[in-house]
Structure 1
Amino acid sequence: MKISIITATYNCAHLIEECLRSVAEQTAIDKIEHIIVDGGSTDKTLSTISQYPHVAKVYSAPDRGIYHAFNRGVELASGDIIYFLGADDSLYEKSCIETVVDAFECEEIDYLITKVRCFDEVSGEVWHVNTEMSDEANICHQGFFCRSSLFEKIGPFSECFQLCADSFFMKKAIARFHGIHIDTTSANFRQGGASSSSASRLLLKREANAVAQLLGETTPSKQVQLDKNVIDLKLLLDKVLSKKEPLAIYSGMKIGVFGTRQLSITIANALRQQGAIVACFLQTTQVSVNEITGVPVKSIEEAYELGLSLVINGIEGEHESTISKVLREKLEGMKVISWRDM
């Protein structure tokens, strides 16, 4: 069984080496067909690619956008499995493709979903998505592998969308065909691309709603939750700024902040400005990064060793109450509060 990994490129010589190296170092390299679909780069992208002999096919010509490039890649692919890896992303570990191919060989499935490690180099934020099979609203293509036959059954990516054609395709696949979720991480997904930039959020929301309507869904519940969280954050900011001495009560306290996303980082920065000692960020899962903004990242099990006075749950959204319950159970005798109660 062979897997075609399709990477779309355009003037990304400064980023693509990590992507290429992560594929070249795979233990299952003999089962990989790496296809590069380039939009007509004018920098050193193509010369950089030429230094990696594992690349099977390179196609370079102007295109109409990312989904046109993806569709070109599917047309060039000869693998049994199709996967899209961004030029600025990388495979998570050397055995991840071997794990995926083994799963397809053992299971009668049309698609497979893995976890994806997301990171933001500017903020230091790190988090995982695709953590649950039921979390369809948050599936990203860096963790989606499918049989090539699905493109014959569903059709190519729709170029009517600028940001959500992959989401539309994956949701149709999940609704109509059989797949599984495996507890492994396939890729490192770098934030800051077209779909993750702040300038694209309005378009992303509009296209997500369009996808939901085309599939006969209601407005995505995750977007409703996100909108609610924005309101909550504004209320928190108003509460903090209205105090005569914002967060002064935490001065000198040794605090752990649960979470590694932007809200947790913002909380930690605010606490440090008021003289609090932020000893660590906490995670329930295996720690995948050593530190963020100079603060170490630890597992919940390590919290007692640090002599913390307080743990603040920095998670917002549907998992917030569940995380608070887990923290109170695992950190019995330690004070735990929500960011909403600061």
Structure 2
Amino acid sequence: MLISIITINYNDVAGLKRTIKSVQEQTLTNYEHILIDGGSTDGSAALTEQHQDNFSYWVSEPDDGIYHAMNKGIAVARGDYLLFLNSGDHFKNKSSLSTLVGGIDEKQQVELVYGNIEVVADHTWIKKYPVHLTLDYLIKDSLPHPATLIRKACFNNQLYDTSLSIVSDWKFFLLGVGQQSFNFTHVDHTISVFYYDGLSSMQQDKIAQERQKMIARYFPEKLPLHRSYYPSAFSRKITNKKKQVLLLCNRLFKKVTNG
């Protein structure tokens, strides 16, 4: 069984170095590493050339965004399963890939094998995923690309939707589980480390808008659930104002009661 590890990079030479090192250190060696670079100008191409013997395929050229780049990686992948470990992210330890692959039952066709991730932001925490995936769960959340093996055959009928700028990976998992009844297995180990730079409120609005559009198209009965997780920008402003007023009232109350 061959695993295709696909790395997408654009002007993140420091992160790319970390990712390459992590892949090369894996104890499981039956993999190919594919690099799709968007025409970086920061030294990423030179770093790639230094390690070109470790890649089964690599290219550095302009693309139309991350999902276009991911589709390019899928097109050249030869593996039975694919894993997207994008520039900057890395495996948790040297046996991570082996641990995740151990969740594959070759007697049963499993489309998705996923583990947990360590999230690095203003603080660090372990994000665990459920044993059972449901449509309701995926209305709210998604699966972690750096810790998910996807059977290559899943992409025979659909690639990532390049008309979406930020939630195409979520759409893939949503339709896979909600419409195509993908089989799945959860491996309860921390597989990868994901570096989260944070999303601005504008991006949060974009996520909500794109998700709502997809849910309205494919699962309109789930729109109320979606809106409970992703209230409108106006509703969030009202909620924040209420919090600010409540905080001010509490401060005034304390000031009066303390004399």
* TM-score (normalised: structure 2): 0.82
Gaps (5+ residues) in structure 1?
A: 249-342
Q: Report the Cα distance in structure 1 between the residues aligned to 2:24 and 2:224, rounded to whole angstroms.
A: 38
Q: Report the Cα distance in structure 1 between the residues aligned to 2:254 and 2:106, rounded to whole angstroms.
A: 55
1:200 paired to 2:207: no
1:242 Cα deviation from its structure 2 partner? 2.2
1:165-211: per-residue Cα shift (whole Å, max 9, x none)?
11111112223121122212222121127xx3433111111111122
Higher helix share: 2
Single out whichever of 57-66 and 139-148 deviates more from structure 2: 139-148
Of 135, 145, 152, the residue aligned with 2:149 is 145
Judged with a 3 Å threshold, the aligned counterparts in structure 2 of structure 1 residues 226 and 173 are, in CA distance, closer, same or farther, namely: closer
Judged with a 3 Å threshold, the aligned counterparts in structure 2 of structure 1 residues 222 and 19 are, in CA distance, closer, same or farther, namely: farther
Amino acid at match of 1:111: L
Q: 1:1-342 alignment to 2 at 5 Å?
A: 1-28=1-28, 30-52=29-51, 53-106=53-106, 108=108, 109-120=110-121, 123-124=122-123, 126-134=125-133, 135-136=137-138, 137-140=140-143, 141-152=145-156, 154-175=157-178, 176=180, 177-192=182-197, 196-217=199-220, 218-219=222-223, 221=225, 223-227=227-231, 235-244=242-251
1:247 Cα deviation from its structure 2 partner? 8.6
Identity of aligned residues (%): 25
Q: Report the Cα distance in structure 2 between the residues aligned to 1:143 and 1:14, rounded to whole angstroms.
A: 21
User: Are the equivalent residues in 1 in contact too, given 2:126–2:190 (CA < 8 A)?
Assistant: no
1:197-238: per-residue Cα shift (whole Å, max 9, x none)?
433111111111122123224227355135399566654443
1:144-176: per-residue Cα shift (whole Å, max 9, x none)?
321111111x32111111111111111122231
User: Are the equivalent residues in 1 in contact too, given 2:111–2:184 (CA < 8 A)?
Assistant: yes
Q: Report the Cα distance in structure 2 between the residues aligned to 1:4 and 1:12, rounded to whole angstroms.
A: 21
User: Are the equivalent residues in 2 in contact too, given 1:130–1:143 (CA < 8 A)?
Assistant: no
User: Are the equivalent residues in 2 in contact too, given 1:40–1:61 (CA < 8 A)?
Assistant: yes
User: Are the equivalent residues in 2 in contact too, given 1:240–1:247 (CA < 8 A)?
Assistant: no
1:289 maps to none
Q: Which runs of 4+ in 1 moved over 6 A?
A: 245-248
Q: Report the Cα distance in structure 1 between the residues aligned to 2:101 and 2:30, rounded to whole angstroms.
A: 8
1:117 Cα deviation from its structure 2 partner? 2.1
Larger radius of gyration: 1
> For 2:42, what is the secondary structure of its paired residue?
coil
Judged with a 3 Å threshold, the aligned counterparts in structure 2 of structure 1 residues 247 and 118 are, in CA distance, closer, same or farther, namely: farther
Judged with a 3 Å threshold, the aligned counterparts in structure 2 of structure 1 residues 241 and 85 are, in CA distance, closer, same or farther, namely: same
Single out whichever of 138-147 and 68-77 deviates more from structure 2: 138-147
Amino acid at match of 1:239: L
Judged with a 3 Å threshold, the aligned counterparts in structure 2 of structure 1 residues 62 and 232 are, in CA distance, closer, same or farther, namely: same
Judged with a 3 Å threshold, the aligned counterparts in structure 2 of structure 1 residues 232 and 71 are, in CA distance, closer, same or farther, namely: same
Amino acid at match of 2:158: G
Q: Report the Cα distance in structure 2 between the residues aligned to 1:160 and 1:244, rounded to whole angstroms.
A: 48
Judged with a 3 Å threshold, the aligned counterparts in structure 2 of structure 1 residues 192 and 107 are, in CA distance, closer, same or farther, namely: farther
Q: Report the Cα distance in structure 1 between the residues aligned to 2:113 and 2:253, rounded to whole angstroms.
A: 48
Over the aligned positions, Cα root-mean-square deviation in angstroms equals 2.6
1:36 Cα deviation from its structure 2 partner? 0.3
Q: Report the Cα distance in structure 2 between the residues aligned to 1:86 and 1:2, rounded to whole angstroms.
A: 19
Amino acid at match of 1:31: N
User: Are the equivalent residues in 2 in contact too, given 1:130–1:139 (CA < 8 A)?
Assistant: no
Aligned pairs, how many?
A: 242
Q: Report the Cα distance in structure 2 between the residues aligned to 1:200 and 1:220, rounded to whole angstroms.
A: 21
Q: Report the Cα distance in structure 1 between the residues aligned to 2:202 and 2:36, rounded to whole angstroms.
A: 26
> For 1:244, what is the secondary structure of its paired residue?
helix
